[in-house]
Structure 1
């Protein structure tokens, strides 16, 4: 393409277009994730949630709309992770759940895999079977203490932290990956008891 000259202006040069991917900074993703988590509540509650995150590092959010949670006892996960330390278990969960977000409550050694909101309704039969092992599917009518999106490390004052951080808004664990994790954990625990 030849440069085009318009009377009274310099010749215009063609613009080379580059194909690529739009990249969002981690700060942008954290902010988008924070807003997505707050969307579980009416806008009038958003300031309360921000204050809870600022003062307590954890905010109580309702489950069953944007996401539900599967509570998994630490002993079930440790039986497969071959690690007792939190960092080792966190790395195992990140791999096993393909980066799906997980919240850890370290004092009770409970893990909460965040899954689509519909899972609590569709898994009712499996949830009954898993309850004996301490697994519970939490949906409508339940609340979860959700840490600030930047709370990714455990320290002595930590009530909960992101064992596997939520990488972007609305990116959740796949139900199949969570079900496989639970099934493998139950199998490993049965083998340990024999």
Structure 2
């Protein structure tokens, strides 16, 4: 990905704020920016144990590659609580009927700066590859159903 591509993606993300400069400042100062959900994207919050069971690993590289292959869109991993949570970014109007929490209007999500990882606790498991790229929640449902199937066969 070129610097111009990264800049265009970051600009698209930053424009979720009424003043996009605020996001740029937060990325510069802290490495993460709190961005409002419900305008350009929502997020589905998935416990790491579910994701790790579905992909058969908790290795960040393996998980990132599997999520990239399955979801074709951006995913943030936040490890502040145990093994953490994954936030799968989806369109605000996308249908989601799964058991995981959908976060939207009125919620802010910490999104890391693109490029080199700067936070040990909040980072892109899968970076967006173009402005407006989001995950298809039907792909997430399919991925999570593999974890349920594996769990059922182990019992």
User: TM-score over 0.5 for the alignment?
Assistant: yes
1:117 has 2:92 as partner: yes
> Would you identify which runs of 4 or more consecutive aligned residues in structure 1 move more than 4 Å?
none
Residue 67 of structure 1: aligned partner: 41
TM-align CA RMSD: 1.8
Quote the Cα distance in structure 2 between the aligned partners of 1:191 and 1:107: 31
Matched residue, 1:173: 135
The aligned length equals 153
Higher RCO (CA < 8 A, seq sep 6+): 2
Per the alignment, residue 142 of structure 1 pairs with 107
Q: Distance in 1 between matches of 2:44 and 2:152?
A: 21
Give 1:46 deviation, angstroms. Answer: 2.0
| Structure possessing the higher radius of gyration over alpha carbons | 1
CA deviation digits over 1:60-92, x for unaligned, max 9? 000011111111111001112121222221111
Helix, strand or coil at the partner of 1:149: coil
Partner of residue 160 from structure 1, selected from 122, 134, 137: 122
Q: Is structure 2 residue 4 aligned with structure 1 residue 31? A: no
- Distance in structure 2 (CA, Å) of the matches to 1:174 and 1:66: 14
- Which ranges of structure 2 fall in alignment gaps of 5 or more residues? none
Whether 2:62 is the aligned partner of 1:88: answer yes
What is the match of residue 41 of structure 1? 17
Conserved in 1, the CA contact under 8 Å of 2:23 and 2:34?
yes
Q: Is the 8 A contact 1:101 1:164 kept in 2?
A: yes
Change (3 A) 1:75 1:32: same
**Other-structure match for 1:21:** none
